[in-house]
Amino acid sequence: MSEPLVVALRGQFQAIEAQLGSAAQPAEREAVKREIIALFKRVDGALTDLGQMKEDIRGLVERYKQGAAVETAPAPQFTGARPAVHADHLGASTYIEKGWSLISLGDYPGAIQSLEKALALAPGEIQAQSLLGWAQMLHDDYDDALGTFSRVLMKEPANALARINVGYICLKKRIFGEAIEHLSKAIRLDNDRKATLYAHYYLGLVYLEREMYEDAQSFLRKTLKLGPNLIEAHFELGRALWFAGQREDAMRAWAEGHKANKFNPWAKRCKEMLDVAAAGGEVPRSPLS
């Protein structure tokens, strides 16, 4: 509230409020009316400009993400629909919408704080729980995220996105049996295209980590049929082929990944693997950080 614009608007509001209390004559009231309208238009214009600024900031975030260093075994990309903000007497929906925005901006601690406030006001609210699980997972709070997503799945067993997130967390924690169970169930559900895509990809990583290269190749090839633009699947398929002794096929997989989008960070990693392989270097064995 100490920002200059807000202070100025608040000062104008208080001045009008004082005038309204003393305006008795029609001309005085008409003057106050004009000032109220002018203040409203000024605030409305500022909100429009600030709204556009928020969208511009989102653009900066996306540009930052594109240039960020590639991590191994990346978490599912957060593309959840913006929550519909509605008036509720508790105010939980406002915190839910804020939590969604903060996740989108990459402020996971802020999102966690906001979503915990929403759940304090509306315990068990499923959308708040789902978003909280996302924020915790993306902040690497895996144990907390597992607990949150487990509560989501108790209420919505067919929530495939929550299930693949649990599968991802189990992969990161190297609990491979549970990862396979949840990811396989997401594939059987097949009720969310994004969840089905990532379920195949993470199963490929699970089997790659377990050195079951034929199974890894199968799931990674299915991943690329479902999502040809998921270039990290080209990278991991190349590794699965390489360690199975199919080195020419591995180099073709990396070449396809690099060709798909040369500016994508994973495409650049495919090119790095081609260079490493050509120079007789060591291909990294584990996809897990």
- pLDDT at position 78: 75
Q: Is the pTM of this model over 0.85?
A: no
- pLDDT at position 289: 44
Secondary structure tally for the chain: helices H, strands E? 13, 0
Q: Give me the residue spans of the domains in the chain.
A: 1-65
Q: Give the C-alpha distances (Å, rounded to integers) separating 8 from 21, 35, 37, 49, 210.
A: 20, 14, 16, 16, 63
> How far apart, in whole angstroms, are the C-alpha atoms of residue 157 and residue 170?
17
**Residues listed for the chain:** 289
Query: Which parts of the chain have pLDDT scores under 50?
Result: 1-2, 68-70, 289
- pLDDT at position 69: 46
Cα dihedral 283, 277, 204, 218 in deg (nearest 10): -150
